[in-house]
């Protein structure tokens, strides 16, 4: 039976690279992003690269609980199992905590898109994941989940919280059929780094993160990589 991967925020960067890697292995692909135009371009590109691929996509802003619920319903409505869930949706806004908006909206927005989107989608799909013989949840954390960075501010707080959520989920699901992995990449060349005056060789390739995720999933059910930490060879930027 064809396996299914669900990747949130799959239209660009690491999410897109993960979809391409699993498409190459013949998986059914399910994804979402805020831009319908970006999703249409993604679907066209994937279907050209992989003519036999089934690509299901829904425009959704997962920072909004009702949109997260709509995406969960969309996934469940497709039928079949969800073998891998990759919580990849996120956003980066640089700045210091002391310079955040006075109403606290900066932190709340960062929590909504980087933490609560993962919480809502995972909670919504978890009963289905638990009902399967085997499943795997990946959460796209960051080296910013481990080390505070200058100008990291509310984004860093949200990523620390996401790492905590992942560690708690791993502990809770340890005796089940669901493996849980925190992915902690350093600087990866994606659209958010475009325009930076550094050579691409200084960054991790999104395809390398995707290959690491695929390899982690490929282990036997008796083994789980709890934390997948990837940094540029020359260290953090």
**Spans of all domains in the chain:** 4-230
Give me the pLDDT at residue 188, please: 86
CA distance 132 to 153: 39
At 162, is the pLDDT very low, low, confident or very high (cuts 50, 70, 90)? very high
Q: Does the pLDDT at position 36 exceed 70?
A: yes
Q: What is the reported pLDDT for 196?
A: 75
Tell me what the mean pLDDT of segment 81-106 comes to. Answer: 92
CATH homologous superfamily, domain 4-230 = NAD(P)-binding Rossmann-like Domain (3.40.50.720)
The predicted structure's pLDDT at residue 202: 83
- Eight-state DSSP code of residue 183: E
**Mean pLDDT rounded to a whole number for the chain:** 94
pLDDT of residue 195: 65
pLDDT at 192: 65
Note the helical H segments in 89-226: 105-111, 117-130, 153-172, 206-217
pLDDT value, residue 94: 85
C-alpha span between 52 and 236 (Å, rounded)? 39
91 vs 61: CA distance, rounded Å: 11
Q: What's the pLDDT score for residue 187?
A: 85
Please answer whether residues 38 and 114 qualify as being in contact, where contact means their C-beta atoms are separated by less than 8 angstroms: no
pLDDT at 200: 78
Is residue 189 over pLDDT 80? no
pLDDT of residue 194: 66
**Average pLDDT of the segment spanning 164-181:** 98
């Amino acid at each position: 039976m064809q396996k299914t991967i669900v990747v949130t925020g799959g239209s660009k960067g690491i999410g897109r690279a993960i979809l391409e890697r699993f498409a190459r292995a013949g998986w059914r692909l399910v994804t979402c992003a805020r831009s319908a135009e970006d999703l249409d371009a993604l679907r066209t590109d994937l279907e050209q690269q992989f003519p036999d691929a089934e690509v299901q996509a829904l425009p959704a802003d997962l920072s909004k609980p009702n949109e997260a619920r709509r995406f969960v319903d969309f996934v469940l409505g497709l039928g079949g199992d969800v073998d891998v869930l990759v919580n990849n949706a996120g956003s980066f806004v640089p700045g210091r905590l002391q310079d955040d908006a006075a109403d606290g909206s900066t932190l709340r927005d960062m929590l909504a898109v980087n933490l609560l989107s993962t919480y809502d989608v995972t909670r919504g799909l978890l009963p289905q994941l638990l009902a399967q013989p085997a499943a795997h949840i990946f959460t796209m954390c960051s080296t910013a989940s481990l080390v505070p960075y200058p100008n990291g501010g509310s984004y860093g707080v949200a990523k620390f919280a996401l790492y905590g959520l992942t560690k708690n989920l791993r502990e809770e699901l340890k005796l089940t059929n669901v493996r849980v992995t925190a992915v902690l990449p350093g600087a990866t060349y994606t659209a958010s780094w475009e325009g930076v005056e550094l050579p691409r060789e200084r960054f991790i390739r999104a395809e390398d993160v995707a290959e690491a995720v695929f390899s982690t999933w490929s282990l036997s059910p008796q083994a789980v990589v709890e934390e997948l930490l990837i940094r540029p060879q020359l260290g953090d930027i």
